Every structure is written in C-alpha cells, then in structure tokens.
Amino acid sequence: MAVLPIIVVGDPILRKRTRRVPTVHDTTVQRLIDDMIETMRTAHGVGLAAPQVGVSLRLAVVGMPEQPVLVLVNPRVLRRSGKRQVEEGCLSIPGYVGLVTRSVRVSVAALDRTGAEYRVLGATGLLAQALEHEIDHLNGILYLDHLVAHDALRRAGVEVADHPVIEEPAPATVGLDG
Ligand code: NI
C-alpha cells in the first residue's frame, strides 16, 4: 500500500465528471482501493474520492471512526431527504471549513471491492454527509458549491463571531474531511 499525493482545488480533474469503473476484477483497481484507504487514513480524512488522487473513476472510500471502511464502486444516491446545515472540510481544500447545506437522510447503492452490490439505507449524521460529499466528488462537485452563503467559508480553527446559525445541531462533531 502507498500513500498517494492528494490533489488540491484548482486542478481541473476535481471538476470533471468521472467514468464508471468497468470492473473491480483488475489489479490496478484493487491496488488503487488499497492506496486510497491508506491515503485517507494517513491524512485523517473520513473519505476520499478517486479524482482526489488523480484518477477520474467512480470510486470512493469512506472511513467513519470505529467503523469498517466502505468501498464505494460506481455508487449512486437512491434517495435523500431533509435539509440541514453542517460544517465541512475537504482534503483537497486544506486549511478551510465551510458551512454547507446537506441532506438529513441519505440512501446509497454501490458495489464493494468484490463487485457485490450493497446498499446503505437511511444514513444520517456524519455518514450521510460523507456519502454525499464523496459522491459529489465523482460528479465534479466540491462542498464550495453547497455553501449556505458566499462568505460561509473560513480558515479552519478560526472562530467567526457572526457565523450563521446552524438550524439543527450537527451530529458531525468530529467534522468531515473528505
Ligand atoms: Ni472532499
């Protein structure tokens, strides 16, 4: 396993819609999955999408604290409901966090690394946020596109006195960096 360099905002690959993974039964794809997991862990992120390591494929990993890593191959959102405001970061936008609008509840279908289809139904909290964030990456979307206001971005670790009020307490207290 190898730690890969993470591409930062400004690189056009982050804005490209990705291609489907033709097959998981491929040593290059399997190695990429291993490397993405290693890279996510090393960077202390809760998710990482293939474009962030320079590969324009529909592939992402999500590693929630104390949970097995989810490998999402060709994922799609089945359903989303509700709206909430949560603070979010991204490994490709280092040093910043932003207040964004996300869904309350998200259901996703994907293939795992063996090619078997699975579903994550009714995810909430940080998991729902991470799933939306990583699948956005596969469509060239960054959390910057979901800011509640154009000035809802701030330097990480800097508190802003007049920060917009969060309507619903964010369960994502550990924060999202994907
Ligand atoms: Ni991200």
| Residues contacting residue 94 through CB under 8 Å, at least 6 positions apart | 8
* 132 catalytic per annotation: no
Percent of the chain with pLDDT over 90: 84
pLDDT, tens digit, 9 for 90 and up, residues 66-89: 899 999 999 999 999 999 999 999
pLDDT at 164 over 90: no
pLDDT at residue 176, rounded to an integer: 73
Domain boundaries, the chain: 12-155
Distance 176 CA to ligand 1 centre (A): 9
**Interval 135-157 mean pLDDT:** 94
pLDDT at 135 over 90: yes
SS3 178: coil
Question: How far is 172 from 131, CA to CA, in rounded Å?
Answer: 13
Distance 135 CA to ligand 1 centre (A): 9
| Positive/negative CA dihedral, 120, 43, 115, 137 | positive
**Domain 12-155 sits in which CATH superfamily?**
Peptide deformylase (3.90.45.10)
pTM: predicted TM-score of the whole model, two decimal places: 0.89
Distance 94 CA to ligand 1 centre (A): 10
Distance 171 CA to ligand 1 centre (A): 18
Distance 88 CA to ligand 1 centre (A): 9
Residues around ion ligand 1, judged by CB within 5 A, are: 90, 178
* pLDDT bucket at 159, cuts 50 / 70 / 90: low
Question: How far is 163 from 63, CA to CA, in rounded Å?
Answer: 29
pLDDT, tens digit, 9 for 90 and up, residues 17-48: 999 999 999 999 999 999 999 999 999 999 99
Distance 149 CA to ligand 1 centre (A): 19
Beta bridge partners of 154: 97
Q: Report how far Cα 54 is from the mean position of its chain's Cα atoms.
A: 15
SS3 61: strand
Question: How far is 165 from 69, CA to CA, in rounded Å?
Answer: 32
Percent of the chain with pLDDT over 70: 90
Distance 47 CA to ligand 1 centre (A): 7
From the list 132, 134, 167, 168, the catalytic residue is 134
